[in-house]
């Protein structure tokens, strides 16, 4: 993967946030070209005083069953249903399940807990008939990449703490679960030779945390919470990612908490690789693994089981 080593990148930290987002979108939206064609429906979610843009992906005909709510990455600062359109289409195709993506509010204008509140609102939107029929949380799953994986995990914990019905499962792709920059993967890959830098990750966390400090024990850093009582989880860690150890540490804590999970450590791929399915077999394999895990849990409603580890070498 030496060809993925990159030279100097645009420093979004030095420009107005609107311009940074414009440039980021221009660079990332084209990655969705070539994703599977399917029916899509644009929606609006009323989120207590503001409206969220949403998009429903429908890979099969018939009633909407077992939908997957997808939470996009982008450091809580960038990203949208447009930048992750291809990822959601690929996930819907792999799972043969509807996928709903949302434009949650972004930091730094809207720091924690605003993005999490929007995710929780989206879950309630599905439960209460926003997709045309009421759907039990037990028939739903959630998925997300990077910052979206953080929010997906936090949403599961928030629903547990509020004693709300739990979702069937989740797929969390190369997430960031606490502002910890002392890990071996940050030391090895944080210089940005493989796209993501530790410096930029600190900026993203600062944007997201707002008034909360890096020592927060809130759901902004969900791995620091009690993880018991969660549904079965699929985790994937990218081998060339400064955030690799976030996922591996989460897996260790899930094991200690008795939560059923599968964790794939995928060597040779970088942070953000889910959007590289045109070029990387490993990215397609990662999406397929997450989709298969979710489908198996939605079909079997098996909330027990044992922990497992695996390595994807494709």
Sequential DSSP letters for 81-147: TTTTHHHHHHHHHHHTS-EEEE----TTTS-TTHHHHHHHHHHHHHHTTTTSS---GGG-EEEEETH
Does 189 have pLDDT greater than 70?
yes
Residues of the chain with pLDDT > 90: what percent? 87
Per-residue pLDDT of 98-123, as tens digits, reads 999 999 999 999 999 999 999 999 99
Per-residue pLDDT of 27-48, as tens digits, reads 999 989 999 999 999 999 999 8
Mean pLDDT, residues 20-31:
94
**Residue 246 domain boundaries:** 2-311
pLDDT: is 177 or 1 the higher one?
A: 177
Position 9 confidence tier, pLDDT thresholds 50, 70, 90: confident
pTM of the model: 0.94
- The confidence score (pLDDT) of residue 120 equals 98
DSSP code, position 15: S
Position 301 confidence tier, pLDDT thresholds 50, 70, 90: low
- The confidence score (pLDDT) of residue 2 equals 42
The whole-angstrom separation of Cα 78 and Cα 107 is 8
Mean pLDDT, residues 5-26:
86
Residue linked to tokens 């989709």: 291
Q: What are the helix and strand counts (H, E) for the chain?
A: 8, 9
CATH number of the domain at 198, please. 3.40.50.1820
Does 305 have pLDDT greater than 90?
no
Does 1 have pLDDT greater than 50?
no
Residues of the chain with pLDDT > 70: what percent? 93
- The confidence score (pLDDT) of residue 299 equals 81
Mean pLDDT, residues 191-207:
95
Mean pLDDT of the chain: 92
Does 168 have pLDDT greater than 70?
yes
Per-residue pLDDT of 114-167, as tens digits, reads 999 999 999 999 999 999 999 999 999 999 999 999 999 999 999 999 999 999
Lowest mean per-residue pLDDT among 19-23, 45-49, 286-290: 45-49
- The confidence score (pLDDT) of residue 311 equals 39
Does 304 have pLDDT greater than 60?
no
Per-residue pLDDT of 57-85, as tens digits, reads 999 998 888 999 999 999 999 999 999 99
Catalytic positions, written as ranges: 146, 241, 271
Give the 3-state secondary structure of residue 191: strand
Work out how many domains the chain is built from and give that number: 1
Q: How far is CA 5 from the centre of its chain?
A: 24
Does 267 have pLDDT greater than 70?
yes
Lowest mean per-residue pLDDT among 83-97, 149-163, 292-306: 292-306
Residues in the chain: 314
Torsion of CA 240, 145, 154, 26, to 10 degrees: 110
């Amino acid at each position: 993967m030496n060809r993925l080593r990159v030279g100097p990148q645009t420093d979004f930290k030095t420009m107005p946030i609107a311009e940074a987002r414009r440039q980021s979108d221009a660079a990332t939206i084209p990655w969705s070209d070539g994703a599977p064609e399917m029916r899509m429906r644009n929606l609006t979610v009323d989120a207590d005083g503001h409206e969220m843009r949403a998009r429903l992906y429908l890979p099969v005909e018939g009633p909407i069953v077992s939908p997957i709510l997808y939470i996009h990455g982008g450091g809580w600062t960038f990203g949208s249903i447009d930048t992750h359109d291809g990822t959601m289409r690929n996930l819907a195709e792999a799972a043969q399940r509807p996928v709903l993506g949302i434009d949650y509010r972004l930091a730094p204008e809207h720091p924690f807990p605003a993005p999490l509140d929007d995710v929780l609102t989206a879950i309630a939107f599905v439960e209460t008939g926003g997709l045309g029929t009421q759907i039990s949380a037990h028939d739903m799953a959630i998925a997300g990449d990077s910052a979206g994986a953080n929010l997906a995990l936090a949403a599961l914990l928030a629903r547990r703490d509020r004693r709300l019905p739990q979702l069937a499962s989740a797929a969390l792709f190369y997430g960031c679960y606490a502002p910890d920059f002392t890990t071996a993967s940050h030391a090895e890959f944080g210089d940005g030779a493989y796209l993501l830098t530790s410096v930029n990750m600190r900026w993203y966390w600062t944007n997201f945390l707002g008034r909360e400090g890096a020592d927060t024990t809130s759901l902004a850093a969900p791995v620091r919470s009690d993880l018991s009582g969660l549904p079965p989880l699929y985790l994937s860690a990218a081998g060339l990612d400064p955030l690799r150890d976030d996922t591996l540490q989460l897996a260790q804590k899930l094991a200690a908490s008795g939560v059923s999970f599968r964790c794939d450590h995928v060597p040779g791929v970088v942070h953000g690789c889910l959007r590289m399915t045109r070029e990387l077999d490993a990215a397609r394999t990662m999406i397929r693994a997450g989709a298969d895990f979710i489908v198996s849990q939605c079909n079997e409603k098996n909330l027990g089981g044992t922990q497992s580890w695996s390595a994807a070498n494709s």
